[in-house]
Amino acid sequence: MRIGRGGSVVLWAAMLAGCRSEPQGTHRGSDNCVPPSGESVDRAAGPASQDERMAWWREARFGMFIHWGLYAIPAGKWGERTGYGEWIRDSARIPLEEYERFLPQFDPVSFDADAWARMAADAGMKYLVITSKHHDGFALYDSRWSEWDMGSTRSKRDLLGELKAACDRHGVRFATYHSIMDWHHPDYLPRRPWETRSSEGADFARFRAYLRGQVTELVERYQPAVMWFDGEWESTWTHEQGVELFELCRSLDPWMLVNNRVDVHRGGMAGFSSSSEAVGDFGTPEQEIPATGMAGVDWETCMTMNDHWGYNAADANWKSARDCIRMLVDVASKGGNYLLNVGPRADGTFPPEAVERLAAIGAWMKKHQGAIHGTQASPFGSLPWGRVTTRRDGDDTILYLHVFERPESGELVLPGIGNEALSAGFLAGPRLALHAERRGADLAIALPPTLPDSDCSVVTVRIAGAPVVYRAPRIVAESDEFVSRLRVELADVSDGLELRFTLDGSEPHHRSSSWPGTLELLSSVTLRVRGFHKGEPVTPIVERTFRSVPPRAAMEAGPTRPGLRRQLYAGDWDRVPDFASLPEREAAIVPHVGPPPREERIGTRTSGWIEVPADEYYVFALASDDGSVLWIDGQLVVDNDGLHGTVEKRGGIALARGRHSLRLDWINKSGGAELDLRLAPLGQSPAPLDPASLSHSP
């Protein structure tokens, strides 16, 4: 629908051929592969859609994470300190030759793959992700690409093969965690900052071939349901390399899922990709649960049972079984998956505390798994007594009310719901009908004096139809300003609501225009939207003003030359400084925007002219690690300042056809070093800047 005077999505389509080249050195491993799990799908043909690929994972909701390797031998202790985990080689600064002494000591005589898979299955976990290789580079299987693996240990056991077979027997999907970062491989860069090991002769391209080779053999030998990457944040790994590795995985097994840590655009520990270019099937929040989830995005919270991923004998800060159960419920209520970690001991056994918690979670799941597996997110906001998950059942919907604390009123109140309650009762516990009563726009369910489960009782409420929740929608647009036209949509729309709107600032009523799905604005308006149910207003009014603005006039640049001027500065900053007051270390003319050669504790100022082809409102997408700030014609357009991993932020400005001044400041304190600037007219996907549009004054 167009109002007033009258995007494209880019999909990665290319698939890389699988890595088939033989590694350098002696081939010691076996070519014997674990046979496929017998799934009925044609895995070579691939899924018909992303929804089909993700279906089992969305159904699962709950999985087991396992961090196991040589770091289990010191069990968190080095010298007098006992606070180490799987990072012990780096955090305790153990020289490589000393760390290698753990290899002949690793002999997991008590490892029982069936016991592990059975504990996962009994806990209600539908998949298991184990470290095929962590950051120390040691592989839990006999790799043809390496001697730093199980093939060089006393037992030479194929731990992954045993666990894969056990998972198949117990109905648990097998998956692997594989680190991109590798502290052992001679070609991996950068070295740890404290290491004295020389990097002379190291070739990161050769390491990438090694990484692709190991990933290929993992997929072909063990058919993991997920490749769970990590260690992507160091400066040597790039977006392009992440895309290449992602596409390799797709080509090897089109059904296999790949997490977003294959790419560099993970937004810190929050785990959601911060760039529209990022690849990966799901986000990976670490040690945290998003406050409201992330509508329309697949995500998985990974979390430890205590304070460490790898085994630490001194770590007694265990989460209770109740905490773990309620975290699982919280994650599921927000539409995510919960990946709960176990750090096995060096002998191959789970710590007793982990075994106890898995058993307690399993006892709860045995009675309540229907409220977790295959459910969808809550249609409600925050509720004081607990959480909600949902499931469609024919024409009806089942609401699972997870009760953490019994309200003093003795009632569970569902605020602003328009559906009729058909029945209510406990999912597990006393077989009695609970009274459901409408109180205006709310629904109240009466509880008995005591609840059947002290950790989390579940009340089921069957309602007619899809949930109709009296929640105000959210107005979504790229900008409040535009030059020629602007697309406006609504988000967080509750099914069953009639949405009415006005464009003159007046209050919407039941005879106002119905929301068409999308508006295309051609002139300034004040948009107001309200939800109605059965002809009555039931939500607050949401409002947003959009203005058609004149573009900023082009500037007289005088004679120019191709490229931008980049000035480099040395310093240790947490935020972008005023480079004009600092002495530059060097200067150069560069053809495009991007970081200088990888170096820590530096900053750059890139300046010159950018030419735009038409009068339009332009959106700039600025991605950087660490901080960056963009000015156009002296106006701040994007502020992406501060210390952070690769994060993309956007800003816009109305520009007339012609040249405009550009200034982009960037800092890198340590770690990754990324800088990328893209541009597009409003409504289109930002694309790399055309070098022909960039110039500088001599």
Architecture of domain 386-464: Sandwich (2.60)
Residue pLDDT, tens place only, 316-356: 999 999 999 999 999 999 999 999 999 999 999 999 999 99
Q: Is the pLDDT of residue 29 over 60?
A: no
3-state secondary structure 633-691: CCEEEEEECCCCCCEEEEEEEEECCEEEEEEEEEEECCCCCEEEEEEEECCCCCEECCH
- Quickly state the pLDDT bin for 7 (edges 50, 70, 90): very low
Residues 213, 616: Cα–Cα separation, whole Å = 48
Three-state DSSP state, 313: coil
Residues 541, 518: Cα–Cα separation, whole Å = 18
Structure tokens at 394: 């024919």
Domain spanning 474-548 has what CATH number?
2.60.40
Span of 141-155, 227-241, 625-639 with lowest mean pLDDT: 227-241
Mean pLDDT, residues 277-292: 94
Helices and strands per DSSP (H, E), number in the chain? 9, 36
Handedness of CA 466, 467, 469, 475 (dihedral sign): negative
Structure tokens at 634: 């002296």
Residues 422, 115: Cα–Cα separation, whole Å = 43
Q: Is the pLDDT of residue 38 over 50?
A: no
Q: Does the 50-371 domain belong in CATH 3.40.50.10860?
A: no
Amino acid (1-letter code) at residue 221: R
Structure tokens at 501: 């709107």
DSSP run (H or E) holding 333? helix 321-333
Residue pLDDT, tens place only, 485-530: 999 999 988 888 999 999 999 999 999 999 999 999 999 999 999 9
Residues 257, 58: Cα–Cα separation, whole Å = 12
Residue with tokens 């699988």: 18
Q: Is the pLDDT of residue 32 over 90?
A: no
pLDDT at 496: 87
Average pLDDT, the chain: 92
- Quickly state the pLDDT bin for 387 (edges 50, 70, 90): very high
Q: Where in the chain is the domain with CATH 3.20.20.80?
A: 50-371
Quote the pTM value: 0.84
- Furthest CA-CA distance within the chain: 85
pLDDT at 30: 34
Mean pLDDT, residues 599-607: 93
Question: ∠ at Cα 239 (234, 243), nearest 5°?
Answer: 125
Handedness of CA 69, 71, 74, 76 (dihedral sign): negative
pLDDT at 17: 28
pLDDT at 44: 66
Domain spanning 561-696 has what CATH number?
2.60.120.260
Amino acid (1-letter code) at residue 209: A
Q: Is the pLDDT of residue 41 over 70?
A: no
Length of the chain: 698
DSSP run (H or E) holding 500? strand 498-502
Residue pLDDT, tens place only, 134-189: 999 999 999 999 999 999 999 999 999 999 999 999 999 999 999 999 999 999 99
> In terms of pLDDT, which residue wins out, 29 or 383?
383
Q: Is the pLDDT of residue 8 over 60?
A: no
Phi-psi region of 468 (alpha: psi -120 to 50; beta: other; left: phi over 0): beta
Span of 42-56, 206-220, 432-446, 505-519 with lowest mean pLDDT: 42-56
- Written as one string, the DSSP assignment of 216-281 is HHHHHHH--SEEEEE---STT--HHHHHHHHHHHHHH-TT-EEBGGGSS-B-GGG--B-STT---S
Question: What's phi and psi for 91, nearest 5 deg?
Answer: -70, -30
Beta strand spans in 246-378 (E): 257-258, 300-303, 337-342
pLDDT at 608: 97
Q: Where in the chain is the domain with CATH 2.60.120.260?
A: 561-696
Residue with tokens 């299955």: 121
Structure tokens at 395: 């024409």
Going by C-alpha positions, the residue among 232, 310, 214 that lies closest to residue 274 is 232
DSSP state at residue 483: S
Show Cβ contacts of residue 679 under 8 Å, excluding neighbours closer than 6 positions: 610, 618, 619, 620, 621, 686, 687, 689
